[in-house]
Structure 1
């Protein structure tokens, strides 16, 4: 028999310590389960495929201050020059660098405003017919842009493009029954025909917009400040990056070339905050678990010191060592289970608050269960050593303390 009632009465006589430990376990349960869920979410995000061969691509930004040349004509010369460099696979102007944290998005709808229809917020890239090859992304359906479909100008809604290439995720979101190819969608209220569908193609905000609903539009709005994306042979990228500034200035020197970064480095910089947060959460989890384990260990030691006479008496009356160990394990289990139940409820409430406040996913039940099991096992391990020491108390030493 586990003698639950005597153990419960003993807990009631020392309720302050038991209540403090119960609250500590509940707090640890609530925080650790949510922190573990967030860590798992961050790890899953960092492992996600972006769709780009990141180690083959780099970007550069061009700030032009010269007024003696047409920006659009100069941009075409720049692209042609870069594509001719040994080791370069392709290059394209782009208004937003992928995975960088800065870009453009707008609503894509099935009908023009003010008509009501399904509408989705979509990050998009302005690129020409070289965009797909520069991205290193293959078409799943349809075709690439034709050169005559690429519009150079600054009037998107007037003399703008008529076609669009979308990711599979966007096609599925807009047309759940399939058949997106050839359909018309509306971006900034302009009708665009879906001529191609690609696989994974992450946005400039890979963690902020995880649904991968992205698009490419054949439109070139060349400005004084612009980005160029370059895809190279992986082994040649470092050499090309080191020389690209001088190559660009040789073509036209009234400008400044900045932010020459590999796409993998760009993503690393974007993810730096998430990685730091994940590390802080891991440290928080470890500290909380250690503090809780020490709390259980300390409370058990305290109870043993208070009950030395009682333990000695039980040993003198023939109680086995296993009975003494079992007593403290059951006592700890009762307190721990109560704390885990309260902590589990608190974890759900905390997860719901975080979901509403920070737009994160809802806490999954398996993280609550997993955390509860881990804390329960940890509590048993924390109490087993002092319990075994209690079992080794000599009856003669206990009687001398009377």
Structure 2
């Protein structure tokens, strides 16, 4: 403790190098703590369960051409053809594909929208009575759609009368727990809630209300039509390979496009987040290495600069441990000062990121953990040069005499 003041004075006499290192440690503390927090937040997001057996499901779009007598009948036949392919569990027409980044959303209220009541935003899917099984879902409260409840046809003004919703939606809409059997409004159209699914997400995983989902029994026929198919996990690839030939044999004036597995669609949707994670990891590694090398280099520079001084101290009886302690103490003063400044900067940076990019507030534990990590790295970086300094022979001090 008695050496702190002399060490501090020595740093003030050659403050340029110490100041640069202090700033470097401060920047490392601020950036690494926020980067580590963002990495953890994104990893939790990427590992969020969607509720779907992603490796069993794939989707594709069909564009039909030519004269078609009854589009609804043809698409129902197509659905049945897909279900009869060996390895297929179920199939359904849909308006959008979950976790794909593309879909539809609306507000659902307890009153018609014309009456401006309280509304909750949710993604919505449309499909027939097979959609739940195709998505690998089941109701835990209530029931599935019945066939006579499915609105089939090309009329875009036709509306459903019932709906199945996610637990997250019904808990938010009816927190008192009596949502099953209640009526919600899609615009001015009433929908009776007949079933609740425990867990499912909409097309946008990054949405704050991604788990608010409403499914309506509508099999709307269109010449541009989406299908989802669920197959046995080990048969999915085989089904995907042969489905083009099977469907073109049924009707050759159609084009099958955008065929991909749900897990692939999810990976494509999350590609930017995965790239960001990799970049942040590289940034952390580079910053830590640069900081460690900076500390190592500055310590070596100080040793070369103070060789005779160290030799003199050794000649006057200073122990090797005292020399090592001197450099560790000097480094700790710089490091702790940098960490304090960096911790304040980390808070400001975290608040700025929260405001600009809508990420959660920085957890103070990440700052503390980063500070401890930086301190350990700095001590490890200085220990070997310090040991080298301690081994300087006392005769070095008398060579120029």
TM-score bin, normalised by smaller chain: over 0.9
- Name the counterpart of 1:330: 329
Question: How far does residue 320 in structure 1 lie from its aligned partner after superposition?
Answer: 1.1
Measured in 1, the distance between the counterparts of 2:356 and 2:245 equals 48
- Name the counterpart of 1:101: 101
- Name the counterpart of 2:27: 27
- Name the counterpart of 1:383: 382
Measured in 2, the distance between the counterparts of 1:115 and 1:316 equals 92
Name the CA shift for 1:311/1:344 in 2 (closer, same or farther; >3 Å).
same
**Contact kept? 1:309, 1:401, Cα under 8 Å:** no
Write the deviation string for residues 61-103 of structure 1: whole angstroms up to 9, x where unpaired: 1011223233222211111111122221111001111121111
Measured in 1, the distance between the counterparts of 2:117 and 2:378 equals 55
Q: Structure 1 regions of 5+ residues with no counterpart?
A: none
Question: How far does residue 154 in structure 1 lie from its aligned partner after superposition?
Answer: 6.0
Question: How far does residue 116 in structure 1 lie from its aligned partner after superposition?
Answer: 5.1
Q: What's the TM-score once normalised by structure 1's chain length? A: 0.95
- Name the counterpart of 1:262: 261
Question: How far does residue 152 in structure 1 lie from its aligned partner after superposition?
Answer: 2.7
Write the deviation string for residues 131-180 of structure 1: whole angstroms up to 9, x where unpaired: 11001112121111111211135666x53112111111112222223222
Measured in 1, the distance between the counterparts of 2:223 and 2:359 equals 38
Question: How far does residue 181 in structure 1 lie from its aligned partner after superposition?
Answer: 1.2
Measured in 2, the distance between the counterparts of 1:106 and 1:2 equals 69
SS in 2 for 1:160: coil
**Contact kept? 1:58, 1:261, Cα under 8 Å:** yes
SS in 2 for 1:268: helix
Measured in 2, the distance between the counterparts of 1:117 and 1:285 equals 49
**Contact kept? 1:118, 1:174, Cα under 8 Å:** no
Equivalences, count:
401
1:240 aligns with 2:239: yes
Q: Structure 2 regions of 5+ residues with no counterpart?
A: none
- Name the counterpart of 1:287: 286
**Contact kept? 1:185, 1:194, Cα under 8 Å:** yes
Measured in 2, the distance between the counterparts of 1:268 and 1:345 equals 36
SS in 2 for 1:266: helix
Measured in 2, the distance between the counterparts of 1:117 and 1:387 equals 72
- Name the counterpart of 1:70: 70
Write the deviation string for residues 240-273 of structure 1: whole angstroms up to 9, x where unpaired: 1111111111221111011221212222222222
Name the CA shift for 1:378/1:230 in 2 (closer, same or farther; >3 Å).
same
Write the deviation string for residues 333-374 of structure 1: whole angstroms up to 9, x where unpaired: 111111111111111111111111112222112211111111
Write the deviation string for residues 14-65 of structure 1: whole angstroms up to 9, x where unpaired: 1111111111111111111111111112221222211111111111110112
- Name the counterpart of 1:193: 192
Measured in 2, the distance between the counterparts of 1:202 and 1:401 equals 78
Q: Which moved more, 1:175-184 or 1:108-117?
A: 108-117
1:301 aligns with 2:300: yes
Write the deviation string for residues 249-299 of structure 1: whole angstroms up to 9, x where unpaired: 122111101122121222222222221111111111100110011111111
Measured in 1, the distance between the counterparts of 2:209 and 2:159 equals 29
Question: How far does residue 309 in structure 1 lie from its aligned partner after superposition?
Answer: 2.1
Measured in 2, the distance between the counterparts of 1:95 and 1:11 equals 69
